[in-house]
Homo-oligomer: A and B are copies of this chain.
Amino acid sequence: MSEGEMSIDRKKGEDWWATDIIEMRPGLIRLRGYAIEDLIGRISFPAMIWLMLRGELPDERQAELLGIALSAAIDHGPQAPSIAIARMAATCGVGINSAMASAINVLGDVHGGAGEQALGFFGEIAVSMDFGRSLEKAADERLDRYFKDEGGYVPGLGHRFHPVDPRAPRLIELVRRFAKDGVVNGRFADIAEAVEANVAKRKGKRIPLNIDGATAVVYGELGFPPPLTRGLFVLSRSVGILAHAWEQSQKPERNKGPLPREWLWSYRGTKTRKPVE
């Protein structure tokens, strides 16, 4: 049926779900204008991710750098609430998709949002540079404001567990290499290092860039907006979540709790009492 013949109400229904991402007709699937069979086998998985999120194909070096950042944050072990949740869920009699969902769901502002905050922070410094500030000046002013009004941890710096997070220097090294090759311009790497240096001067000790800061640098270099970095982190951590859910599902445990089976928890509430009749 041609669109001209479609009733106004059916069109209204179909418009309610309008999208720029995918076009479909019987026997035809197009993503962002490309027939899917023209994409399959011609572009890498990270390039496919890029196309879906940004609407245009990256060149393969850009896609490669995206894949590098996606690989870096893949897992941080079962003390991370997301991973622990995936493993416990896998023992409760739900499908692996649901074990993953319960876990992904907790990648919220605190557990999954640090990269977004870091990229937002670096991005404000970038804007300040666009208005003519030097890198050092822009970083210094932003940090002045930060320590005066906001406080807490500087976004993208420091780790409660790792004195130096081994993923961060490796990612920055790779960004520098991609910048040398002209794939990115290295500006967010500069900003991150300027922030790190400025904070070191203020504190008298280096608080090194962490994985959230380092992936924010990559995503910033590649032009992703801050809120999408949380989505990219979800794609990345989903892999570790799946690996742990899968490993756990191969074991016979049922209803796995957080502590060894014969342990309990400390009760600290009201003493024993009776309801008044």
Contacts and interface: CB of A to CB of B under 8 A. Distances in A.
A147 B244 CA distance: 34
A72 B270 contact: no
A274 B43 CA distance: 12
Given A102-B102, A111-B93, A9 B19 contact: no
Nearest to A270: B33
Given A17-B258, A53-B242, A275-B34, A111 B92 contact: yes
Contacts of A223: none
A20 B269 contact: yes
Given A42-B275, A44-B44, A105 B109 contact: no
A26 interface: yes
A108 B101 contact: no
B111 A255 contact: yes
Nearest to A63: B45
Interface string A201-234: 0000000000000000000000000011011001
A27 B211 CA distance: 12
B96 A230 contact: yes
A266 B107 contact: no
A41 B35 CA distance: 30
A22 B247 CA distance: 12
Nearest to A70: B45
23 contacts: A16-B258, A17-B87, A20-B270, A21-B244, A21-B247, A23-B269, A27-B163, A31-B74, A33-B272, A37-B169, A41-B174, A48-B74, A84-B84, A84-B258, A85-B85, A85-B89, A93-B110, A93-B113, A98-B106, A101-B105, A104-B104, A110-B255, A227-B249
